Amino acid sequence: MSDFLTVRDLVVEVPARNIKILDGISFSLESGQTLGLVGESGCGKSMTCYAVASMLPRGITRASGSVTIQNSAPTGVTAKAPKIAMIFQDPTSSLNPVHTIGYYLESALHRHQGLKGSDARLEAMRLLERVGIDRARSRMRAYPHQFSGGMNQRVMIAHALAAKPQLLIADEPTTALDVTMQAQILHLLEELKAETGMALMIVSHDLGVIARLADKAAVMYCGKIIETAPVGELLQRPAHPYARALVDCMPSIDPNDLEPPAPIPGSVPLLDSLPPGCHFHPRCPRASAECSVGFPVPATIGPVHEASCYHPVAA
């Protein structure tokens, strides 16, 4: 199967401050596949999503590289730009507080599908019911502040579905939710991907979320992708010391393993004062002199497993 989304050597920077937010990242994604982006806060995960969706904030530009999205419309259908939808981290602050949920969804349906009037209302109610919100007719008249965080996240997903996206980007979709609601949202995303065949990019610092949803994962650190692998292999055989440290931070449910999660020493450096060479080397227990000289090229760990490290954990 050919790649639906291909990102090659993408560089995103703040020209006014000469800072690279993303530095030469590359990855690909097939239709119906899920890519998980993982890493600590400030590693460039969300900015990668914004770059793919052409939603970079003001003052931040794509300096070089390419983002190619293939239209997956059936043969004979007039070619149109592939549709991308995005679910943001904080659903409550992402919804306009002065508009009702119905207005929010109907506007999206009119913009993306040309629906208006009763057709738009009926489809908006159908979308609300599809994402698990009951009493859809009365809920259409509600405002975001009258919904819980989990319900607003469902509204955000319904809004994304209104565009009939070929690519759905979920940026920390479960961060502000309780455990029960997290499980419901993840189950909903699984169902929607299976039904529509859309590609999914999900950002999360929670490896449990990535393990459940993703087919493959990319580990980011200081604006670079330092390891890519099928998600099962990444969790079982992480090669980069940083990926190994992220896995070690996960609490174990094994009753025979009573060791507490091991924290990663230090913190993510600021983008305007990155250490030379491998940016992780000041925090890395396997670092050597060469690690501070130049950034390592990706080393092949397996058929579809690469890590940019001079001293990978998995050979």
Residue 309 amino acid letter: C
Pairwise CA distance, residues 71 & 47, whole Å: 23
Residue 251 amino acid letter: P
Does residue 216 carry a pLDDT above 90? yes
How many other CB atoms are found less than 10 A from the CB of residue 280?
26
The residues with which 300 forms a beta bridge, in sequence order, are 306
Sheet with 19-30: strands ordered across: 19-30, 3-14, 61-69
pLDDT tens digits, one per residue of 7-37? 999 999 999 999 999 999 999 999 899 999 9
Pairwise CA distance, residues 278 & 175, whole Å: 29
Band (296; pLDDT cuts 50, 70, 90): very high
Q: What's the average model confidence in pLDDT over 138-165?
A: 90
Token representation of residue 28 = 């690909």
> Residue 233's pLDDT is what?
93
Enumerate domains of the chain plus CATH numbers.
Answer: 3-83+166-276 (3.40.50.300), 92-164 (no CATH)
> Residue 138's pLDDT is what?
92
Q: What's the average model confidence in pLDDT over 57-85?
A: 75
Token representation of residue 221 = 């650190």
> Residue 75's pLDDT is what?
44
Pairwise CA distance, residues 87 & 170, whole Å: 5
How many other CB atoms are found less than 10 A from the CB of residue 314?
17
Q: Name the strand (E) or helix (H) holding 5.
A: strand 3-14
pLDDT tens digits, one per residue of 32-69? 999 999 999 889 999 999 999 999 999 999 999 999 98
CA 39 to chain CA mean position, Å:
11
